[in-house]
Amino acid sequence: MSNQSLMEFRAHKDHLFATDPHSPLTSQQKKEFTGLSYFPENPELRFEVQVEPFPEQEEVEIQTSTGDVRTFRRYGRFRFQVDGQDAELTIFADRDGFFLPFVDSLAGKETYPAGRYLEPEVLPDGRFLIDFNLAYNPYCAYNEDWSCPLTPFENRLKVPIRAGEKDFKG
């Protein structure tokens, strides 16, 4: 995604948050909303990766922020580097597609403490596009009435991901 496209994507999301009836923001939050906070675009955190599928893609139940559970399939793992440091994450799958929840070392400081989400895109050659510039907060970051899957322990990174959405201070 080009810088211009990313800026348009973010502006569109801000508009939806401010005006859409399905926005996670409460009506009071909408009155005071001036836009989400993002890291500057970071092309170094956009990867086309080969995911190593797990031989046995077991179903796992992931607890949500409201105490419910959602079932996902542990699809596979990919490895990447951030500022010269090795990192790896597990991609999950469900009937809606692929899901990548993660917590980085900035959680609770600059990013939402419970983590952020991505939807990895399958490329024509079977690799995945993982663009952390598109990382977003789950809706429960804005309103505790929403039920959001909690990031599994295996997706807690020791590295900072300075891309995507920052913590919401609304």
The pLDDT of residue 2 = 60
Q: Is the pLDDT of residue 4 over 90?
A: no
User: What pLDDT does 161 receive?
Assistant: 97
- β pairing state of 46-49 and 69-82: unpaired
145 exposed, middle or buried (CB, 10 Å; 0-12, 13-18, 19+)? exposed
- pLDDT band for 1, please (50, 70, 90 cuts): low
Q: If you average pLDDT over residues 60-73, what whole number do you get?
A: 94
Q: What is the mean pLDDT of the chain?
A: 94
Residue range 10-31: average pLDDT? Answer: 94
- Whether 14 contacts 159, CB under 8 Å: no
pLDDT digits (tens, 9 = 90+) for 140-160: 999 989 999 999 999 999 999
Q: What confidence score (pLDDT) does residue 169 get? A: 81
How far from 117 is each of 30, 90, 95, 99, 164, CA to CA, in Å? 22, 12, 17, 7, 10
Q: In whole angstroms, what is the distance from residue 128 CA to residue 131 CA?
A: 10
Task: Say whether pLDDT at 170 is over 90.
Answer: no
Find the mean pLDDT for residues 56-73: 94
pLDDT at 3: 60
CA distance 85 to 32: 39
Return the domain boundaries, the chain.
Answer: 42-155
Tokens of 9: 């994507």
**Token pair of 161, please?**
């991901």
pLDDT for 38 equals: 96
Using DSSP's 3-state secondary structure scheme, residue 138 falls into coil
Q: Which stretches of the chain are DSSP H helices?
A: 3-19, 27-32
Per-residue pLDDT tens digits for 85-141: 999 999 999 988 999 999 999 999 999 999 999 999 999 999 999 999 999 999 999
Contact call for residues 74 and 62 (beta carbons, < 8 A): no
